[in-house]
Amino acid sequence: MRLVLLLLCIPFALLLEGFRRKLIARMQSRVGPPVWQVFLDLRKLLSKRTLIARESHNLLFEFMPFAGLITAVILILLISGIVSFNYDFLVIAYLFVALDAFLIVGGVASKSPFALQSSSRDLLLMIGYESAFILSIITFFSVSGSSSLLVYSPVFLPLASIIIIIAGMPMVGITPFDTVRAGTELAGCVKSEYSGPGLFAFELGEFVRDFAYYWLVSVLLAGWSWFALIVFAVLFFGFCLSQASTPRLSALNTAKVLLGLGVLAFINLFMLV
Amino acid sequence: MHEVRLPFGPQHPSIKEPIFLSVDVEGEVVRDASMRLGYAHRGAEKMVEGKSIMAGLFVTERICGLCSSAHSNCYVQAFEKLLPEKPGLRVALTRVVIGELERIHSHLLWLGFLMHEIGFESLFMLYWSVRESVLNLLEKISGNRIHHSNNWVGSVRSLINKSLSLEITNTLDAIKPKLESYAKQAVNDRVIRSRLVSKGVLSEKDAEKLCLVGPLARASGINNDVRSIAPYEAYSQLKFKVPLSHKCDAMARLRIRLEEINTSISMVKQALALMPESEVPALVKPEISEGCVTARVEAPRGELFHYYEVKNGLITRARFRTPTYANIICVPQILQGYDLSDVPVIIASLDPCFSCMDRVLVVKDGHKRIMNSKELMRE
């Protein structure tokens, strides 16, 4: 049963991305692509020939997207409760950071100037949003007194909830904090040199990670109840609305906001625990 | 800090036409920038040479998709100087209507493009949906959405009758409140302001020194609008105020273009109100055998200048100075010291059009030649 759940998670993550594209298109008075377009895109990527520039030809560059995809699948295993142990929430938090780090290392290993610039930008911003994300998860678990995500009982923490939602925006790539995915500035960003199956693993890893984020935050805010589904839907809709209705902040302003968010998360944890 | 050289182009998501911009960044700060042009060079001037006057018109109106009417208007104006009779008020007003509708759709395209550069996709889509209404009007007038092909030396191909005039007025009335609402959002949004205010500053002195034209110059306080300082067609009969700003930044360029859309809407309405029901000259081949003429018009991006020499009814020399050709010189200077995030915004604020700008490459007998300025002028 649990294996079936895990197998369903990946297509559901892709469907969610399809819905995201469709919903944003409708918000912009466009028809948008069909919901299953993501499946077609990924299938096409698998059939594409891998082209790697001579400078990018190294093991790190080739392996990192697959490491990211494996990490994303492990994240789903942990968040869905298929695998559960004491203090698994800390592992979940670290896996989110590790996934981002794998993708950044892949970008650096590609030696593309765009990927290098995007990686250095992401490294700076990660100090803010990843620390805010981890500290908020610790805040939720410390206040609730739960030792594992599977036995988590929800607590009402408005500031920590806002922090974890804002910290998720640069992670999922939502304006105004999607600076690391700013295609008009950095072309393909960390993905600039990837093609074929490498890009497939990269993209799939990101979609699964985004799905894992929505799932985790829904559980943190509403616990293991039907209400979590409503939180999931509201969070997803809110992110789509933000994506459709706000412009992107500049890198400098994003860094200011996210570093401030990290500090705020630390103060919040200090005050509550 | 480690310096990285980023290649913007020839293919890059922020630049919709081919240009190579090399940007040296230290961290996020742009230290130096240089550019290489010529990727879209089509030899438009050479293409016109050796053609008859009517054949040349078809080439010039295809130099640019966004300034198609401006180019053909400049062309016909140049040759109409050699005609014994002027085409009349109805022709002039029809050209004004098409020229101003073209300016509106070009500015709307630019607004959408600017919003796309800062990641505001919804406003980009909304601006482009309004642009569709303007393109539909142009299609109803001329039969074409982009290359209107309405100008003829001494006349126009399509006329605007009463019912079409009413439809144009109604459509413009319908889009005006939408544009006002979008403009309010574009000008007042805090994030947009943080991306545009004090970015890409070009002082009045610099703009004058670099001989900039169009909305770019007007945002730096220089009024060089040809419609106002040297009125052509029927512009002298229309009441309008040239929008000017002394803020000199990307936000000022946005405001100028927003105001210009309103000015153009007012001009179209005035032109339609003045439109007589008189006959226009027939579409005949112009009898011009020899001459040397120039003309200039205000294209959506600024002053457009054409120069022609005619011998035995054939064009022997053509020279076009497009607005981007005059404005592009400021790019390396305007980027220095700003953040990498500002580069696409600042370039977009110039509203460059590279396809009609690329010039100078001279190839003879299959060999590239490097010439000094005197040789180049002689050529």
Residue A260 backbone class (left: φ over 0; alpha: ψ -120 to 50; beta: rest) = alpha
**Contact by Cβ (8 Å): B34, B24:** no
**Tell me, what's the pLDDT at A192?**
86
Given a cut of 80, is residue A113 above it in pLDDT?
Answer: yes
ipTM surpasses 0.90: no
**Tokens linked to B95:** 């050209």
Task: Choose the most confident range, by mean pLDDT, from A155-164, B329-338, B360-369.
Answer: A155-164
Mutate to test the interface with A, among B1, B121, B130 (most CBs of A within 10 A): B121
* Confidence band, pLDDT 50/70/90 cuts, at residue B14: confident
Mean pLDDT, chain A, whole residue set: 91
For A177, nearest residue in chain B (alpha carbons) = B119
Given a cut of 70, is residue B359 above it in pLDDT?
Answer: no
Alpha helices in chain B (DSSP H): 44-48, 53-60, 68-80, 89-117, 121-142, 162-188, 190-196, 204-209, 214-218, 226-229, 250-274, 323-327, 331-335, 342-349, 373-378
* Confidence band, pLDDT 50/70/90 cuts, at residue B45: confident
Percentage of chain B surpassing pLDDT 90? 64
Question: Mind listing the pLDDT tens digit for each residue in A193-251?
Answer: 899 999 999 999 999 999 999 999 999 999 888 999 999 999 999 999 999 999 999 98
Question: Mind listing the pLDDT tens digit for each residue in B192-234?
Answer: 999 999 999 999 999 999 999 999 999 999 999 999 999 999 9
**Tell me, what's the pLDDT at B376?**
61
Given a cut of 60, is residue B361 above it in pLDDT?
Answer: no
Strands B151-152, B29-36: pairing is unpaired
Rounded to two decimals, the pTM is: 0.90
Question: Mind listing the pLDDT tens digit for each residue in B114-157?
Answer: 999 998 989 999 999 999 999 999 999 999 998 988 999 999 99
**Tell me, what's the pLDDT at B140?**
94
Given a cut of 70, is residue B378 above it in pLDDT?
Answer: no
- Measured CB to CB, residues of chain A less than 8 Å from chain B are 24, 27-30, 113-114, 116-117, 120-121, 175-176, 178-179, 182-187, 243-253
Q: Cα torsion for B285, B290, B291, B295, to the nearest 10°? A: 20
**Tell me, what's the pLDDT at A218?**
95
Given a cut of 90, is residue B258 above it in pLDDT?
Answer: yes
**Contact by Cβ (8 Å): B82, B288:** yes
**Tell me, what's the pLDDT at A31?**
92
**Tell me, what's the pLDDT at B374?**
67
* Residues paired with B368 in a beta bridge: B363
* Confidence band, pLDDT 50/70/90 cuts, at residue A16: very high
Mean pLDDT of A251-265: 93
Q: Cα torsion for B46, B47, B52, B54, to the nearest 10°? A: -130
Given a cut of 90, is residue B85 above it in pLDDT?
Answer: no
Rounded to a whole number, what is the distance in Å from the CA of B121 to chain A's nearest CA? 6
The shares of helix, strand and coil residues in chain B, as percent rounded to the nearest 5, are 50, 15, 35
Segment among A83-92, A133-142, B314-323 with least mean pLDDT: A83-92
Mean pLDDT, chain B, whole residue set: 89
Given a cut of 80, is residue B363 above it in pLDDT?
Answer: no
Rounded to a whole number, what is the distance in Å from the CA of A32 to chain B's nearest CA? 12
**Tell me, what's the pLDDT at B101?**
96
**Tell me, what's the pLDDT at B163?**
93
Which of A27, A116, A185 is the closest to B340 by Cβ?
Answer: A185
Query: Does A183 sit within 8 Å of B122, measured CB to CB?
Result: no
B237 vs B36, residue with greater confidence: B237
Instruction: Sort out which chain B residues have CB atoms less than 8 A from A183's CB and list them.
Output: 13
B352 vs B307, residue with greater confidence: B307
**Tell me, what's the pLDDT at B220?**
94
Mean pLDDT of B244-262: 94
Mutate to test the interface with A, among B6, B114, B198, B341 (most CBs of A within 10 A): B341
CA distance A69 to A102: 10
**Contact by Cβ (8 Å): A217, A165:** yes
Given a cut of 70, is residue B364 above it in pLDDT?
Answer: no
Instruction: Sort out which chain B residues have CB atoms less than 8 A from A117's CB and list them.
Output: 4, 6, 25, 340
Which of A29, A117, A183 is the closest to B125 by Cβ?
Answer: A29
3-state secondary structure of B316: strand
Which of A28, A114, A182 is the closest to B119 by Cβ?
Answer: A182
**Tokens linked to A23:** 């919903």
Cis, bond preceding B10 (omega within 30 deg of 0): yes
Residue with tokens 């009413």: B166
Mean pLDDT of B77-104: 93
**Contact by Cβ (8 Å): B301, B351:** yes
CA distance A8 to A132: 30
